[in-house]
Amino acid sequence: GGSAMAAVRAVEIDPEGTFKYILVRLQRPGGGEQRDIVRGTKAAEFLHHIFEKVNPEMEKLGYECKCLGGGKIEHNSKDKKIRVFGLSTGYGKADHSVTVEILKKEYTDYEITWSDDKK
């Protein structure tokens, strides 16, 4: 059933600060069900560290993961603002507009913007 995929949190990001993020596509092997999730943390020095953490977790649940790219997130919880920007040299730029749509579902009362700025 689709419940396991629905149980995977769409967004796991740090509550404050500026940090790297990746956009990951989960897929059932053989196609069918898929969804995109956002993961970002200051603890990750490099984006592949985030992916290396997400990937085994998702494989255990029976999903294949593909990194769709990355960038940075600036999360200001006090002002309820999130800015998505930048790119990943290794994975390429995520489609920030997709990331923003995912974030908006989670942070409904936030002002969420994106740009291709590096800083």
**Total number of domains in the chain:** 1
Q: Looking at residue 112, what is its pLDDT?
A: 98
Quote the pTM value: 0.91
CATH number for position 104 = 3.50.20.20
72 marked ligand binding residue: no
Nearest to 96 by CA among 85, 81, 88, 111: 85
Distance CA 89, CA 103 (A): 22
Task: Identify any residues that bridge with 66 across adjacent strands, giving them in sequence order.
Answer: 25
Q: Which letter does DSSP use for residue 104 in this model?
A: H
Give the pLDDT of the chain (119 residues) as one tens digit per residue.
455 767 799 999 999 999 999 999 999 888 778 899 999 999 988 888 999 999 999 999 899 999 999 999 999 999 999 999 998 888 889 999 999 999 999 999 999 999 988 88
Are 99 and 22 in contact, with CB atoms under 8 Å apart?
no
**45: containing domain:** 4-115
Q: Looking at residue 3, what is its pLDDT?
A: 59
